Structure 1
């Protein structure tokens, strides 16, 4: 039996439309904001904010897994881009059976 230390990470994920993609929701919100008298607002783009907690052996592994998750599930890579901030939360000892 061996033991390994796994780390828990908190991820803050931001998904936004690519700059070349039209954003009708952002345009509608911008129109509403301007109707409220805020004429100085030039552009509004709408995106998604996601929080996730995951456990991995190290930060590189957590980043690799998050990249896969974002690319396959959370974002549509054809029209959206994503970025994430990853913060270590704690370390947990795990025991592996031989």
Structure 2
């Protein structure tokens, strides 16, 4: 079994309105040294696969098909083997 920790964020070329609001609000609260804010989504999936390569392939497919809008978002994941 494998556990995937998946991080999805907007691509650098896409404006993230939530992050901009947070950054402006932090400035109004006196946190003026914050240079950038990144808002994203986080998922954890545990799956059974015959190999790490098969698990990576499946996670890529899941991200491409459902978890990330590949036109606007990028994703990365960490994969670790876990006990059955």
List alignment gaps of at least 5 residues for structure 1: 1-7, 92-98
List alignment gaps of at least 5 residues for structure 2: none
What is the aligned residue count?
84
Per the normalisation by structure 1, the TM-score is 0.83
Per the normalisation by structure 2, the TM-score is 0.96
Structure (1/2) with the larger helix percentage: 2
The structure number with the bigger radius of gyration is 1
Residue of structure 1 equivalent to 2:59? 66
The list of structure 1 runs, each at least 4 consecutive aligned residues, that deviate by more than 3 angstroms after superposition, is: none
Q: Distance in 2 between matches of 1:44 and 1:22?
A: 11
